[in-house]
Amino acid sequence: MTSHIYLDHAATTPMRPEAVAAMVAHLDKLGNASSLHASGRAARRVVEESRETVAQALGARPSEVVFTGGGTEADNLAVKGLFWARHTADARRTRVLVSAVEHHAVLDAAQWLAKEAGASLELLPVDRDGRVLVEAARDSIARSPETVAFVSVMWVNNEVGTIQPVASIASIAAEYGIPVHTDAVQAVGQLPVDFSTAGVDALTVTGHKVGGPFGVGALVLRRETSVTPVLHGGGQERDVRSGTLDVPAMAGFAAAIELAVREQAQLAASLSELSSELVRQVLAAVPEAELNGSVGVDRLPGNVHFSFPGCEGDSLLLLLDARGIECSTGSACSAGVAEPSHVLIAMGRDEERARGSLRFSLGHTSTQADVDALGRVIGPVVERARKAGLVNLGGGSR
């Protein structure tokens, strides 16, 4: 059986043994955390202890942690909830300012508001590295601040790894009392993330990107920030997110994020070295490959994103997969969709370059051997993908 080299940690990363143990410890326990009897109170205690752990890891107050079913739900709660709350309070607030390179959980939710709820969506432009232009954001806000419902800019881009100027944009928005949301799903565990100093009003995190389970996440939400619920029912989680609480998942999430934040600096240093070596080996094998996104301290340590001229990203992915190396053409949520990356298009790349790209993302289980395995096969794989492209085009040039 072919051993698999996993270079897709940005899609999901292996669960930490500590998180598995924390989940297993509660899987056979009885009790709904909303019940008042002894079993319910025991379950509630686990939830609140998990909330305290998550809050401490993120520099937040426990009362600011709203548990959700994952990052997508947290993003939707922030985007829709902020818009509805602000627009209801003042009908002039229709403008939604979102970076052009957001994850689809934010971008699609904002587009839905524009189509169905009377919002006016404005995409904040980015530079060639995928970084939001702060002055453009300032101009957009200042043009008519009383009409802005909220701003959403991710902490770090999930495809090309560029770290965004969230604090600068939050500072500008604060001058006008405009709330700011940031999707920090990719950042936690690789970058320092402190809610208390970031200047944002809402922040999204999820369990499975930090070594925890699927299906659990959180929206860290300032107490004074109003959001309209997306889910209605039992009134759990400050009456912001109704639904029976998944006690084992929350325990696993808390264990994972506590460990990820504790080891963040050490992991970041290790991943930076591995990523630099991955870049070196890919360029040695394919000199014409083009690295996308920022470099150095402005890039997520575990992210490497290349465009391979003359290749289709899907072909490269499948050829690498056949050799036991797993990576991504971009966001896993849009895998299989025959569209060029909206991130690369926003960065000014043409469709051919956007289609011929791969993301290699490293995580807590990555090793030098993983990088070396990619380095050995990337050259022949690219050559074969190019030949396949020429055949599909009837032998013509690309």
- Tens-digit pLDDT profile for residues 177-201: 999 999 999 999 999 999 999 999 9
Tokens of 378: 């990337």
Residue 1 has pLDDT above 50, yes or no: no
pLDDT digits (tens, 9 = 90+) for 252-270: 999 999 999 999 999 999 9
Which contacts qualify for 36-40: CB closer than 8 Å, 24 or more apart?
none
Reply yes or no on whether 311 is catalytic.
Answer: no
Query: For residue 398, is it within any domain?
Result: no
- Looking at 262, 290, 307, the residue that finishes a domain is 262
- Looking at 213, 230, 262, the residue that finishes a domain is 262
Measured distance between the N- and C-terminal CA atoms of the chain, rounded to whole angstroms = 36
CA quadruple 137, 141, 144, 148: dihedral sign: positive
- Whole-number Å distance between alpha carbons of 60 and 210: 18
Based on the domain organization, do 180 and 319 belong to the same domain? no
> Tokens 């051993």 belong to which residue?
3
Query: For residue 93, is it within any domain?
Result: yes
Based on the domain organization, do 70 and 169 belong to the same domain? yes
Based on the domain organization, do 272 and 254 belong to the same domain? no
Query: For residue 397, is it within any domain?
Result: no
pLDDT of 388 reads: 80
pLDDT digits (tens, 9 = 90+) for 206-229: 999 999 999 999 999 999 999 999
Residue 333 has pLDDT above 90, yes or no: no
Based on the domain organization, do 337 and 213 belong to the same domain? no
Number of structural domains in the chain: 2
Give the list of residues 6+ apart from residue 98 with CB closer than 8 angstroms, or none. Answer: 79, 106, 107, 110, 121, 122, 123, 124, 151, 152, 153
In the set 20, 283, 332, 333, the catalytic residue is 333
CB–CB of 24/16 below 8 Å?
no
Tokens of 243: 């639904």
The amino acid occupying position 213 is P
Based on the domain organization, do 194 and 314 belong to the same domain? no
Find the domain containing 218 and state its range: 17-262
Q: Count CB-CB contacts under 10 A for residue 310.
A: 16
CATH code of residue 290: 3.90.1150.10
Q: Count CB-CB contacts under 10 A for residue 299.
A: 23
Based on the domain organization, do 238 and 299 belong to the same domain? no
Residue 24 has pLDDT above 80, yes or no: yes
pLDDT of 390 reads: 57
Based on the domain organization, do 234 and 276 belong to the same domain? no
Based on the domain organization, do 184 and 321 belong to the same domain? no
Query: For residue 138, is it within any domain?
Result: yes
Based on the domain organization, do 255 and 120 belong to the same domain? yes
Query: For residue 221, is it within any domain?
Result: yes
Based on the domain organization, do 304 and 358 belong to the same domain? yes
Query: For residue 60, is it within any domain?
Result: yes
- Looking at 244, 262, 280, the residue that finishes a domain is 262
Based on the domain organization, do 211 and 288 belong to the same domain? no
Based on the domain organization, do 194 and 214 belong to the same domain? yes
Query: What is the average pLDDT value for the chain, to the nearest integer?
Result: 94
3-state secondary structure of 380: helix
CA quadruple 213, 219, 223, 228: dihedral sign: negative
CB–CB of 246/216 below 8 Å?
yes
| Stretch 154-160: mean pLDDT | 98
The amino acid occupying position 79 is V
Of the candidate ranges 23-32, 47-56, 149-158, 327-336, the one whose mean pLDDT is the lowest: 327-336
- Whole-number Å distance between alpha carbons of 272 and 22: 30
| Stretch 275-296: mean pLDDT | 97
Give me the percent of the chain exceeding a pLDDT of 70: 95
pLDDT band at 115 (very low <50, low <70, confident <90, very high): very high
pLDDT band at 232 (very low <50, low <70, confident <90, very high): very high
